[in-house]
Amino acid sequence: MSEPQTTANDREQSAADADGDTGPTLAPTGTPPPGPRGLPLVDSTLAFVRDPLEFFSSMPEYGDVARYEAFGREFVVVSDPGLVEEVVVARDDEFWRGGFEHEFGELLDVEGLFFAEGERWRRQRLLLQNAFTPARIRSYADDMVVEAVRLVESWSDGEVVDVREAMSTLTLRALTRSLFDLEFGDGRADRVRRWVHAMGAYSDSEFFGARAVLPTWIPSRAEREYRRATADVEALVEELVTERRGSEADGDDLLSLLAIGEYPDGSSPPAEEITDQLQLFLLAGHETTATALTYACWLLAGTEDVWSGLEWEVDAVCGERDPTFADLPDLAVTEAVGREAMRLYPPLPFLQREPHEETVLAGYRIGSGTTVQLNMYGIHRDERWWADPDVFRPDRWVANDEDADGDERTVLADPDDRPEYAYFPFGGGSRHCIGMRFAMTELQLSLATMVRRVDLERVTESIDPTPKISLDSGPVEMRVRKR
């Protein structure tokens, strides 16, 4: 382990510096952060490609700010909550998403909110957040439950299902309804699904597979299929926009909001921008939520007492009916399960930023082309902030309380004294996840709907997660036991 290591005092100093209180820095200004020495020519690329999560998890050994080179780029990994907060909140205007993230957007030819910067981003975010108000989420909630019921009812007793595949189908159906108001069975929803699948296959092969290391200029089959599906989804969105603009009714899906919405200057988003946003929301909202649900199911099936606690809560709150949006505040254990699953397996395991110009973080020099990776995966499992960091313990998120009648009840709580950015599955600062409320609602409602009907037993005994569009679990087989 190389010096300097960050101590609790150093962290306080760093936070004080962020507040404008100048004091001693952690290392002489301008020192590059410590880090592994890669093989000549290929730097750390091979180690990264061989096992990205293991490589990434080893970085805190060099300190809370550590540097490596891979893919011909320089990366700095930040593993301290106070420094994460500094980057995404206090010094937000000094950083942008950066070239590395943008390369991914360019490869997929997807723009939209995630990839927008500056004034353009602000305008888009203001318009789009109208689709994620509590009232809107309430209107999507029933569809989420309908889709979860449809999925679970399609399973038979004793059947082995791939839960990753099933959750991916579930979240895509729920998203297609909320974004486009297209139902499963509608041929137009299939066109959206085709695009999503083609996008997954293409990004797997080009960005996360061998072609990322050994680029070739001959378009692969995955690329050709992706380009075809993209042209088709663009045509579909154009059709739907024309339909919505010609209709009297105000739909509450995102597409309607964009089709009839206006920016403060009275202009409407052009068709191309609407397509971009919808593609981006499919990209950002589908696999992430499916990933969180997959790990939640797998972790639950490994801990009988948590599963029975969850069943008990859902039975007490819902009785003989399915859950609704109004039940959410009472489903504290359900929410704790979702939170804890995302602590251990955050769907986006690290956030990336790049400074606009060379800067200093915790005393270390960060060059202008450097990708700063905020190590969510590492921080979520850091024993400085978490007792039993690798253990699935949803009870850490709840406490017992008494209601007005003196009856005991379980409520959400975060009793441990830890920094705010010790847990940030939805990011933070101005660019925090716009779909956070949507995702938490879907997580709670889907889990509650499922546990009312089935128990799941692990068939896949171990999972080896790989960071792709989200933290991919690989296939997760589980046996269904109908309740």
Alpha-carbon Rg for the chain, nearest whole angstrom, is: 23
- Stretch in the footprint of ligand HEM (CB under 6 A) among 57-65, 268-276, 344-352, 402-410: 344-352
Distance CA 478, CA 173 (A): 21
CA atoms within 13 A on the CB side of 459: 16
Contact flag: residue 127 with ligand HEM (CB under 6 A): no
**Residue whose Cβ sits closest to ligand HEM:** 435
Contact flag: residue 434 with ligand HEM (CB under 6 A): yes
Distance CA 424, CA 350 (A): 10
List the one residue out of 353, 356, 347 whose CA is nearest residue 429: 353
Distance CA 246, CA 467 (A): 43
The smaller minimum CB distance to ligand HEM, of residues 56 and 363, is found at: 56
Contact flag: residue 98 with ligand HEM (CB under 6 A): no
Calculate the alpha carbon distances from 113 to 13, 44, 98, 425 in Å: 35, 31, 14, 18
Contact flag: residue 62 with ligand HEM (CB under 6 A): no
Q: Cα torsion for 449, 450, 452, 456, to the nearest 10°?
A: -170
Q: In the bound complex, what is the minimum distance in angstroms from residue 92's beta carbon to ligand HEM?
A: 10
Contact flag: residue 378 with ligand HEM (CB under 6 A): no
Contact flag: residue 257 with ligand HEM (CB under 6 A): no
Contact between 402 and 386 under an 8 Å Cβ cutoff? The reply is no
Residues 274, 279, 282, CA angle at the centre, nearest 5°? Answer: 125
Contact between 78 and 374 under an 8 Å Cβ cutoff? The reply is yes
Q: In the bound complex, what is the minimum distance in angstroms from residue 280's beta carbon to ligand HEM?
A: 6
Contact flag: residue 433 with ligand HEM (CB under 6 A): yes
Contact flag: residue 84 with ligand HEM (CB under 6 A): no
Q: Which helix (H) or strand (E) holds 467?
A: strand 466-467
Which of 313, 426, 451, 456 contacts ligand HEM by CB under 6 A? Answer: 426
Contact flag: residue 192 with ligand HEM (CB under 6 A): no
Q: State both tokens at 161.
A: 């299902």
Which of 182, 292, 336, 454 contacts ligand HEM by CB under 6 A? Answer: 292
Contact flag: residue 348 with ligand HEM (CB under 6 A): yes
Contact flag: residue 288 with ligand HEM (CB under 6 A): yes
Q: How far, rounded to the nearest angstrom, does the alpha carbon of residue 50 sit from its chain's CA centroid?
A: 23
Per-residue x/- track, 268-287, ligand HEM (CB under 6 A)? ------------xx--xx--
Which of 105, 349, 427, 465 contacts ligand HEM by CB under 6 A? Answer: 427
Contact flag: residue 60 with ligand HEM (CB under 6 A): no
Q: Is the dihedral of CA 386, 388, 392, 398 positive or negative?
A: negative
- Stretch in the footprint of ligand HEM (CB under 6 A) among 2-10, 212-220, 229-237, 425-433: 425-433
Q: How many residues bind ligand HEM (CB under 6 A)?
A: 22
Q: Which residues bind ligand HEM (CB under 6 A)?
A: 113-114, 125, 280-281, 284-285, 288-289, 292, 347-348, 351, 425-427, 431, 433-435, 438-439
